[in-house]
Structure 1
Amino acid sequence: MYEGNPLTPSAKRPASAAASPAGERLWQACLAQLAQQLPEQQFNTWIKPLKAEVAEDFSRVTLLVANRFKLDWVRAQHGGQIASALQAVYGEPIALELALAPRRAAQRVNAAERRADAPQGTAAAEAAPATRAGAAPETPPRSRLNPQLTFATLVEGSANRMARSAAMHVAAQPGQMYNPLFIYGGVGLGKTHLMHAVGNQLLADRPGARVSYIHAEQFVSDVVRAVRHNAFDEFKNAYHSLDLLLIDDVQFFANKERTQEEFFNAFEALLAKKSHIVMTSDTYPKGLANIHERLVSRFDAGLSVAIEPPELEMRVAILINKAQAEGVVMPEEVAFFVAKNVRSNVRELEGALRKVLAYARFNGKEISIAVAREALRDLLSIQNRQISVENIQKTVADYYKIKVADMYSKKRPASIARPRQIAMYLAKELTQKSLPEIGELFGGRDHTTVLHAVRKIGAERLQLTELNQQLHVLEQTLKA
């Protein structure tokens, strides 16, 4: 349930669905949760502009959407997530409905989408209303960049050092080496930040450069509109004339044949005029599913570089820097405590920091380990309940098709020893167990054996793409 939320089941009270302050607080609390769960551009494009009407008894929330296309998209892509967030905030299931907004309300929703688009660089134009029949696709703005996302505000560590170095090279000499630059990694690791940093740096050096940051979903929508309105001349003028194209989450092109064809054409046109392309994805090029081979080969022709989950020291630095940006001094021991318990990605780290700062502020307390532990009690409870060494052993054994008993045995064939080392590595990364405790749970092995496995797998993860992907799948499975 949402901390400090007045909307507990006992707090139900009559109110106008459209004007209830309590209903508005419920929706704003839901938005706050969704903002932490979704990539910024998706949240600003699809969720933030929605208008909510909350029933008198809080049994139902109706979301008003500007047009049918957006209604279908929000229902299919985000309906379940919105319903879950409402339940988490309220403490009980709430029926969720989506409806087309009345004409005036739809105009207000569209206006909200345009406002959301301007500072954040997302594509309100992705879902142009049907009433715009005959309109050509809008020319992309000059950048859509977030000016706060620069190289200076990106904390460097071993997890992102190579990607950062390559991105800085591209910003300094676009169109030269590393074209295209393909950055891949899990959710919330800083791929989008790095992409914005490239664009901001290039515009600082060359204010007249034509730079456009977009999400892959927008490119899909622009292709759809160009087909509907027979406006490919305008489409090509918009995209083929850029000096730098920054495109996020290209895995969204999967199974979209016409989109892939048009992106291939844009890709070739930009390379021919020595413009630069920077892309991000959740996997390396050859790991993309349902993307045409000729596109994959183009993606792989430049430089592909991974961003890993941040190591402990980097997580601590991120927390201290983010707290300073909020005007708060976070003691180092508190930063270490939070960093040790939030390991997955930068977005979750920032979410944990906001919880700690808010808890301390609302309760008038100094930031301390005790305050952090109380603020994050739900997160710590879930983490401790879900991820155990035993769960890791079972998950790894299932993945590599060996017996769980092999984790404790003295057998040493590679088909068993390798998964065992991977399980030891994950046990050290995902639990609070010490090396001796982990060794004991792996058949009474010495802590030096565990340390060797942790160092070996950790080093190979940085070098072997296939191993890194396997570990990523295992980590996401364990954290699900």
Structure 2
Amino acid sequence: MLTDTSDSNEKNPFDTFLCNAKNAFPLAAITEIANSNPGEAYNPFTVCGPVGVGKSHLLQTLSTVFKQKSLPGQIIYSNAARFCSENTHWAMRPEIFWRQCSALLLDDLQEITEQKKYQHILTVLLESCPNYTEGQGRQIAIACSGRAGILKLLEERLCSRLECGIVMELTEPDMEVRLRYTRALCKQKKINLSREQCLFLAQRCTGFRLLQGFLLKIKAFISIHKKTPTVADMENIVHTGGIYKPINCQKILNKVAHAFNLRADDILSEKRRPDIVTARQTAMYLCRQKLHLSYEEIGQAFEGRDHSTVIYAVNKIKKIIPANKDVNKIVTEMEQNLQ
């Protein structure tokens, strides 16, 4: 979910964000926050999702919109860990903080999951944030890398305060959005690629940041060689420099096996030991989430298991992620590493 700056709209910059139905709800929610007074809509607002899907960009845009409103207090946009490390004193006098601040927008909340002192500071600020009354209020918006279940890794008091507001997830862009973004970026950077060439790039990566890197290399190629790259040139550009590393079932299997201190062969075996079963189900879940394979395809990759086994495994991991901190942590780390 990134911005198509080729057709900007000063009245509502969120109108230029590229997304489809999967991410329409989070975008609509933060748009409503931007169009309202601080604290009037969805407070606190927390957005989760994989790396590179546009969470930081949403907060930055919200910060820009708020600053244009000439609000009485500061608009603070900061990394969560940095903000907490530099502002420990506000835990003692939160009411003074909110007299000076109209909106607190914090990025990378996942970095403080093991920092109890920092979590205490945020909890105090959340609990003391003034409610919206008679046109006056304060807004808190937070971005966190990983699925929404990662919030369960926080101290219970802080997690509870966040869940009292609205928690949403951004998902990775699908092919349609990646193609639209590639074409918009080509137009913005004046890179003359055909639709087929843009589709070639969109098919080979799942994230916006990787697309940006590919297009930067293509622009350099055109500048140096004074020609539009051929299909062979595009293949070479995509596969050089250690950038393009396609994810496959075997890669996921190996990483999960390492995380559970097992061998990949153990996960593929018929063994029913509890840790092996959990690892097997986790690997199936990640194959479904990251590769978007059908249940039948995943079953074939796992020694020909029936699709119903895969469905059960995926649903099982979905259910235990919020309650099981160990599995939650492993799944979150795997999802962040498998980019």
In 1, Cα distance between the equivalents of 2:229 and 2:295? Answer: 30
Q: Return closer, same or farther for 1:421/1:470 CA change in 2, 3 Å cut-off.
A: same
Q: Secondary structure at the match of 1:319?
A: helix
Query: Is 1:389 aligned with 2:241?
Result: no
Among candidates 83, 89, 92, match of residue 219 of structure 1? 83
Query: Is 1:187 aligned with 2:51?
Result: yes
Normalization by structure 2: what TM-score? 0.71
In 2, Cα distance between the equivalents of 1:468 and 1:318? Answer: 31
Query: Is 1:246 aligned with 2:105?
Result: yes
Q: Secondary structure at the match of 1:197?
A: helix
Q: Secondary structure at the match of 1:156?
A: coil
Paired position in structure 2 for 1:352:
214
Equivalent residue letter for 2:56: T
Q: Return closer, same or farther for 1:309/1:468 CA change in 2, 3 Å cut-off.
A: farther
Q: What's the RMSD between the two structures over aligned residues?
A: 4.4
Normalization by structure 1: what TM-score? 0.53
Among candidates 285, 304, 315, match of residue 167 of structure 2? 304
Query: Is 1:281 aligned with 2:141?
Result: no
Paired position in structure 1 for 2:236:
374
Kept after mapping to 2: 8 A contact 1:427/1:438: no
Q: Return closer, same or farther for 1:346/1:284 CA change in 2, 3 Å cut-off.
A: same
Deviation at 1:164, TM superposition (A): 1.0
In 1, Cα distance between the equivalents of 2:317 and 2:182? Answer: 25
Q: Return closer, same or farther for 1:254/1:316 CA change in 2, 3 Å cut-off.
A: same
Deviation at 1:212, TM superposition (A): 2.5
Moved more, 180-189 or 392-401: 392-401
- Answer with 1 or 2: which has the greater Rg: 1
If asked which structure has higher relative contact order (CA below 8 Å, sep 6+), I would say 2
Kept after mapping to 1: 8 A contact 2:285/2:317: no
In 1, Cα distance between the equivalents of 2:319 and 2:146? Answer: 15
Moved more, 267-276 or 470-479: 470-479
Kept after mapping to 2: 8 A contact 1:189/1:309: yes
Kept after mapping to 1: 8 A contact 2:81/2:111: yes
Q: Return closer, same or farther for 1:256/1:352 CA change in 2, 3 Å cut-off.
A: same
Deviation at 1:316, TM superposition (A): 1.6
Query: Is 1:331 aligned with 2:190?
Result: no
Paired position in structure 2 for 1:269:
128
Paired position in structure 2 for 1:170:
33
Paired position in structure 2 for 1:404:
265
In 2, Cα distance between the equivalents of 1:156 and 1:460? Answer: 29
Q: Return closer, same or farther for 1:428/1:249 CA change in 2, 3 Å cut-off.
A: closer
Q: How does 1:76-475 map to 2 (within 5 A)?
A: 150-173=13-36, 174-204=38-68, 206-208=69-71, 210=73, 211-223=75-87, 226=89, 237=96, 239-254=98-113, 256=115, 258-272=117-131, 274-283=137-146, 287-288=150-151, 291-343=154-206, 345-378=207-240, 383=245, 387-396=247-256, 404=265, 407=268, 415=277, 418=281, 421-422=284-285, 425=288, 428-429=291-292, 441-443=301-303, 466=322, 472-475=332-335
Equivalent residue letter for 1:164: L
Q: Secondary structure at the match of 1:243?
A: strand
In 1, Cα distance between the equivalents of 2:113 and 2:284? Answer: 34
In 2, Cα distance between the equivalents of 1:255 and 1:318? Answer: 36
Q: Return closer, same or farther for 1:358/1:238 CA change in 2, 3 Å cut-off.
A: farther
In 1, Cα distance between the equivalents of 2:243 and 2:213? Answer: 16
In 1, Cα distance between the equivalents of 2:239 and 2:46? Answer: 38
Q: Secondary structure at the match of 2:164?
A: coil
Q: Secondary structure at the match of 2:14?
A: coil
Q: Secondary structure at the match of 2:41?
A: coil
Q: Return closer, same or farther for 1:408/1:325 CA change in 2, 3 Å cut-off.
A: farther
Deviation at 1:278, TM superposition (A): 0.5
Equivalent residue letter for 2:45: L
Kept after mapping to 1: 8 A contact 2:48/2:143: yes
Deviation at 1:474, TM superposition (A): 3.1
Equivalent residue letter for 1:200: T
Total equivalences in the alignment? 313
Q: For structure 1, which runs of at least 5 residues remain unmatched after alignment?
A: 1-146
In 2, Cα distance between the equivalents of 1:437 and 1:407? Answer: 15
In 2, Cα distance between the equivalents of 1:152 and 1:162? Answer: 13
Q: Return closer, same or farther for 1:389/1:296 CA change in 2, 3 Å cut-off.
A: closer
Q: Return closer, same or farther for 1:378/1:453 CA change in 2, 3 Å cut-off.
A: farther
Deviation track 1:101-137 (CA, whole Å, cap 9, x = no partner) reads xxxxxxxxxxxxxxxxxxxxxxxxxxxxxxxxxxxxx
